[in-house]
Chain A
Amino acid sequence: MGDQFISHSPIPSVELDDSTQPGFTLSDVSSLKSASSGSEHSLDKVSTFGSNLNEVEKKLKHVGYLIDEMIETESTYIKALTDVIEGYIKRLRRDISSGFNDSIIKEVFVNIEDICLFHDKLHHQLIDCDSDHKLVAQLFIKNIEKLAKMYIKFCSAFPRSLEKLEELHGMDPYKSALAQCQLELGHMFAVEEYLHRAVQRFLKYPLLFKDMAKKLVSVDGHEIVKEALDKLLVTAVKINSVKRVQELQANELVGWKGGDLTSMGDLLLEDSFKVAGAKDPRILFLFKNCLLFTKKKEADNIYSFKHSLPMNNITLKEQVDNDFLKWSVLGKGSESYTMLSKDPEQKDRWTRELKRCIVYSTPGLTDIQKEALLMKLPSLKNDVEHINRIWKRATKKTRKAAKRSESVRILHNTECDSDNFSINSEISAAFDLDSPSVQNKNNSLPSSIELKDRSLDNGFDRRSALKKRPSEEVPIPEVDALSISPSIIVDPIPEIHSDSLSDTPLEVVNEGVTDEEDLVLTFKTELSKCTEPEDVEVVDSDIEIINSDEDFNESVEFKTGADPALGYFTNLLLNSKFYPATILGLIYIFACLVNFLPCYLTIPAIVLSTVFGYRSFPAQSLQSQKKLN
């Protein structure tokens, strides 16, 4: 069982050959040391700036503590691993009566022996670094791939190992053999606790490096520490996602018939979104080769599969209704899903990652071309940060309103800035991989202006559309057989940054709260000034979407906010033609309740009020609801 599991669990994207990762020897450290001896001088220079002296020294002292801690914990960790190896693995191998054979040992202890060997080496090298953070960082950068490979292997096999151990704990002779080992080692806790440490250990390095990087800001060596930290974080994410995919594959994803999930490439993102047209939130999984829509079953950790969009047939539309929380993806044919993110940052993270995936799955491009394409993607980081700032400043109550007013401003802005009218300012010319004729047609468009909605350009195969600012020309990679034309979608978000919003964003927010209606109205008139009549309809429909949020708030409730019975009585009292009779009935009921009148009088009272009440109820309540709305 164990062998089968280990050998059949594919570990995506980590296919390193041991031979390409030679062990790190002492000579490496010494060469590293000599290489960085130059920078030590620069450190001295920094220190001589008097006022900075204390500051820098203090920081370096702290970093020294961190490195000491790393070394110290490293040795405790190695001790724990050695205990497991000596006390369990070797002993069980020797003792044939224990029932442990190689395959069981491999299943339970995975590659703990390799890990221990590696850390033993690492420990010595850390000591040799002599508390120099640059050397420590270099050491980790050099070893990161080996670390990643080992820990991904261990962490992904670990749940199975725990299961196996639980099984063995209930079965002789394994049970007594394990207990004997524990006793001889003098361990308080069972072997599981010690195996846990391996899972824990790797995630401690990023913590230590994070602290180091924080302390070393504007101190020599910050960059290299940061680089090591980034590499460690990437590895941590990878370990987590490999585990996640395994969990999904094993039992959490129901109804998926697309085969091995691990063949979808790395799991890059996972988040919950409201999707237009779906009542419950959808959990989206972005794999390198596929976007998966699932619905979570609340009670247990199970996801039911809804749709999947392969990455080679997906179009991302970053701008929907000019709302910086919405984005949508289009699949082949009429498949289209619009997502509502919870904040601008989330949208940015997803669209950015999706763009990368799309580019990388475009067939026929070399890696260099892909990189070049990605480099040319507009960097909206500043704008996203800007929007985020506004977003954070706005309180929950004002957010909705703010969102709307921002949307209006965005629209407004693009409106006035561009000579050509385009409400969504999407200028599209899709990458077309199949039909050159379409591409030709596309190229003949005057200066790449194509009006708005993507749903209109049905003529194009919507493959791999990419976003571009209008000013930037996308290079057309020259690949035979393929005709690729740039897809350009103007994103008006940069406009916010450059113009109106950067001035007084908070004012906009406040404006939105109080005069939302006015803003929208102003916007309408602005538009009608500068648009041709036939476009007004479209404009109106857009405003409706901005204003109503109807896709996402499906339940319509009593506007009074009070409970229905109360509302009904209020309606009766205010609107009923028969209200004298109703009031009489109510007085009767009240009187009966407080025992003013004998009980038999309640019966006619109830009959009276019910008859009159029912007659007047439906019409009245509808009217009043309309008024309230």
Chain B
Amino acid sequence: MTTNSSKYNITVIGAPGVGKSAITLRLLYQEFVDDYEPTKLDSYQTMMDYQGQDVDVQITDTAGQEDYASVRDTFLRSGEGFLCVFSLTDSDSYSHIEELYNQVKLAKSMEPPQLPFLIVGNKSDLESSRQTKTEDAQRFAESLGVKYMETSAKNNENVTEAFQFLIGMLVESRSAETAPIESNTGKKKKKKNGGIKRFLCGLA
């Protein structure tokens, strides 16, 4: 596949009805129509600004493919960056994230931090019907080794930022093919505990 240095493909994934298309449309048109939201455009190309540089971004919206894993796989394989959306008001869509994450990991045979993957909790405007706590999602994202953001497609909060962030990851991953894997401080602690345990067992 031809990969030009300033062209990136971002694939938007997530459970049905979480606002994948809304986020994408928001980025492209900066407007949210309450009355009728044109939903199902196919794929979009846009120009985005990253640190003063113009980059071409192709956004693939996977709306409609949620139930068809084999078809979706095609898109996962050709995607470069992944915006994984769930709805803060729908805990089912939240629990779906891990499965999606694994599918992407498998399709790309990459893992974070090399894998440009961002978890997005959408519909942050509907605070009253929120089902997922920010801290929980944050912790979960950390456990996967990816970043987490909350957006509102309706109020245009964080939408551009989310895409910018992902593009940043893409730019970096292309410039530095082999980023060193950060050591996990949590692991060290665990090791210490294990040492004490072993010591006690040894005594016994």
Residues of chain A whose beta carbon lies under 8 Å from any beta carbon of chain B: 62, 65, 69, 72-73, 76-77, 155, 158-159, 162, 165-166, 169, 179, 188-190, 192-193, 196-197, 199-201, 203-204, 206-208, 211, 236-237, 239-241, 243-244, 247, 300-301, 563-565, 568-569, 589, 606, 609-610, 613, 617
Q: Count A-B contacts at CB 8 Å.
A: 112
Whole-angstrom distance between the alpha carbons of A440 and B201 in the complex? 69
Residue of B nearest to A589 (CB): B203
Bound state CA distance, A76 and B44, in angstroms? Answer: 11
Determine if B39 is an interface residue (Cβ-Cβ < 8 Å): yes
Question: CB distance A204 to B68 under 8 Å?
Answer: no
State whether A196 and B74 are in contact (beta carbons under 8 Å apart), knowing that A204-B64, A207-B63 are contacts in the complex: yes
Q: Which A residues touch B60, using CB under 8 A?
A: 196, 200
CB distance A69 to B204 under 8 Å? no
Q: In the assembly, what is the distance between CA of A77 and CA of B36, in Å? A: 21
Task: Collect the chain B residues with CB atoms within 8 Å of residue A568's CB.
Answer: 201, 204
Residue B176 at the chain A interface, CB threshold 8 Å? no
Interface flag for B129 (CB, 8 Å): no
Q: A166-B1, A203-B65 are in contact. Are A189 and B42 (CB under 8 A)?
A: no
Q: Which residues of B contact A (CB under 8 A)?
A: 1-2, 7, 9, 36, 38-43, 45, 56, 58, 60, 63-65, 67-71, 73-75, 77-78, 106, 197, 200-201, 203-204
Cβ-defined contact, B39 with A240, below 8 A: no
Asked if A240 and B2 sit within 8 Å, CB to CB, the answer is no
Taking CB atoms, residues of chain A closer than 8 Å to B74 are 158-159, 162, 196, 199, 243
Q: Assuming A188-B7, A192-B1, A300-B106, is B42 touching A200 (CB within 8 A)?
A: yes
Are B197 and A565 neighbours in the complex by a CB distance under 8 Å?
yes
A188 to chain B: which residues have CB within 8 Å? 7, 45, 56, 58
A388-B78 Cα distance, complex, nearest whole Å: 38
A609 to B2, CA, bound (A): 70
Complex: A560 Cα to B42 Cα, angstroms: 56
| Known pairs A189-B58, A200-B75 / 15 extra A-B pairs, C-beta < 8 Å | A62-B36, A65-B38, A73-B41, A158-B74, A162-B74, A162-B78, A166-B1, A179-B2, A189-B7, A189-B45, A196-B74, A204-B40, A207-B40, A207-B63, A568-B204
Q: Which residues of A contact B43 (CB under 8 A)?
A: 193, 196-197, 200
A236, B71: Cα distance in complex, Å: 9
- A198 to chain B: closest residue by CB: B42
Determine how close the nearest CB of chain A comes to the CB of B11; give it in whole angstroms: 10
Report the nearest B residue to A69, measured CB to CB: B38
In the complex, which of the residues A204, A211, A243, A613 contacts B71, with contact meaning CB atoms closer than 8 Å?
Answer: A243
**Residue pair B68, A240 in contact (C-beta under 8 Å):** yes
Other-chain contact of A196, B39, B56, B75, B106 (Cβ < 8 Å)? B75
Inter-chain contact A610/B204, CB cutoff 8 Å: yes
C-alpha spacing A206/B36, complex, angstroms: 18
Residue of B nearest to A244 (CB): B70
Contacts of A301 in B (CB 8 A): 106
Q: Which residues of B contact A201 (CB under 8 A)?
A: 42
Q: Are A199 and B1 in contact (CB under 8 A)?
A: no
Q: How far is the CB of B190 from chain A (nearest CB, A)?
A: 13
CA–CA, A65 to B38, complex, Å?
A: 8
B41 CB contacts on chain A under 8 angstroms: 73, 76
A236→B68 contact, CB < 8 A: yes
Cβ of B7 and Cβ of A613 under 8 Å apart?
no
A525 CA to B57 CA in the complex, in Å? 71
Residue of B nearest to A609 (CB): B203
Instruction: For the complex formed, measure the closest distance between the CB of B57 and the CB atoms of chain A, giving whole angstroms.
Output: 9
- Give the residues in chain B near A247, CB-CB below 8 Å: 70, 73
Q: CA–CA, A169 to B2, complex, Å?
A: 7
Chain B: which residue is nearest A197 at the CB level? B42
Residues of B within 8 A of A196 (CB): 43, 60, 74-75, 78
Question: Which residue of chain A has the shortest Cβ distance to B61 in the bound complex?
Answer: A200
With A301-B106, A565-B201 as given contacts, are A69 and B39 in contact (CB-CB < 8 Å)?
A: yes
